[in-house]
Amino acid sequence: MAEPLLLSDGLTIDLGPVRIVDGLSFRLEAGRTLGVVGESGCGKSMTALAAMGLVPSPSRLGGTLQFEGRDLLAMNEPERRGLRGRRMAMIFQEPMTALNPVVPVGVQIGEMLVVHEGFSPGAAARRAVALLDRVGIAAPDQRARAYPHELSGGMRQRVMIAMAIACRPALLIADEPTTALDVSVQAQILDLLLELQRDEGMAMLFISHNLGVISEMADEIMVMYAGRMVEHGPAQDVLRSPGHPYTKGLIATIPDPGRRQEVLPVIAGNVPDLRFRAPGCAFSPRCPLAAAECSVAVPGLRAVAEGHDVACVRAAA
């Protein structure tokens, strides 16, 4: 097996007394895309922020988290800053929160190159224009002088992507990068990410609550529920033969593009409150197959096929 770029083994994240992420194990190899899917609050963003070294404090991280063979959890802040933006970069749902409103976007992109790559301001400015062009922004030399509020949502997201790829990171983390955009713009941004990944050979951790979007992007899929991984495997396997009742529910909620649906289907029941974890399978209050045995212990992951694991007592190989 290839050396993983990002390796998580039994990762736990505690925010105060609450265990937000509970024993998460996955690996992401160079150039591959791992899609992370799950409902609001299941710990997708916290997992991404742990990789970036940006989990809000006070927090406690446990288990193993490695990047390029280095122990991320043991790094100090200067070491983390040396990785962020340079070897790993992240794009967010709402670029306005990550862009500086009073600095022209070309200067913001150029700053990455000045800080991490030692570019002169002039060379950085020229490279910023080239990057804006690369992410599909028309008239890039004019746009470089624009402030974030002068651009559309889709263009701002392209600017964020230009910033993220400026230093050619090995890992790009995309956390719901298109959720805030119109459907047509969404598709353009997803295409851009796929194209950049192919050209640059980046690995991608792609996060979405929408399994339909994940299925367009990912080589492998990790399904999270209440801070735990409940299913993982090659994207086609997970989509064609889901093993966990929760994954089956997510697949049933993918909107049918051929049909106009007034009300989108949802999985019945509420997203769990992580402060009050019941013993056993966290999905049991919503699971159509729940039985007494499901409440005894947290179901461990079991292989249902080569490289395809499911955490459900009913999962069968």
List of residues contacting ligand ATP (CB under 6 A): 15, 20, 38, 40-46, 56, 209, 274
> What's the min distance (Å) between Cβ of 10 and ligand SF4?
20
Report d(CA 56, CA 277) in Å as an integer. Answer: 22
Q: If contact means CB under 5 to 8 A according to the sort of partner, which of Mg ion, ligand ATP, ligand SF4, none does residue 33 touch? A: none
Q: Binder to ligand SF4 among 31, 290, 302, 305 (CB under 6 A)?
A: 290
Query: Can you state the angle between helices 121-134 and 153-165, rounded to 10 degrees?
Result: 120
> What's the min distance (Å) between Cβ of 104 and ligand SF4?
51
Interaction pattern, residues 40-79, with Mg ion; x per rule: CB under 5 A: -----x----------------------------------
The closest of 136, 134, 127, 85 to 106, measured between CA atoms, is 127
By CB under 6 A, tell whether 301 contacts ligand SF4. no
Q: Binder to ligand SF4 among 289, 296, 297, 303 (CB under 6 A)?
A: 289
User: How would you classify residue 307: left for phi > 0, otherwise alpha for psi between -120 and 50, otherwise beta?
Assistant: left
* Concatenated DSSP letters of 133-186: HHTT-SSHHHHTT--GGGS-HHHHHHHHHHHHHTT--SEEEEESTTTTS-HHHH
Q: If contact means CB under 5 to 8 A according to the sort of partner, which of ligand ATP, Mg ion, ligand SF4, none does residue 23 touch? A: none
Q: Which stretch binds ligand SF4 (CB under 6 A): 1-9, 159-167, 170-178, 307-315?
A: 307-315
User: How would you classify residue 23: left for phi > 0, otherwise alpha for psi between -120 and 50, otherwise beta?
Assistant: left
* Cβ neighbours of residue 212 closer than 8 Å, sequence gap 6 or more: 254, 255
Q: Binder to ligand SF4 among 281, 301, 308, 309 (CB under 6 A)?
A: 281
Q: Map residue 206 onto helix, strand or coil.
A: strand
User: How would you classify residue 12: left for phi > 0, otherwise alpha for psi between -120 and 50, otherwise beta?
Assistant: beta
| Total residues at interface with ligand SF4 (CB under 6 A) | 13
Interaction pattern, residues 243-262, with ligand SF4; x per rule: CB under 6 A: -xx-----------------
For binding to ligand SF4 (CB under 6 A), which residues are involved? 244-245, 281, 283-284, 287, 289-290, 294, 299, 312-314
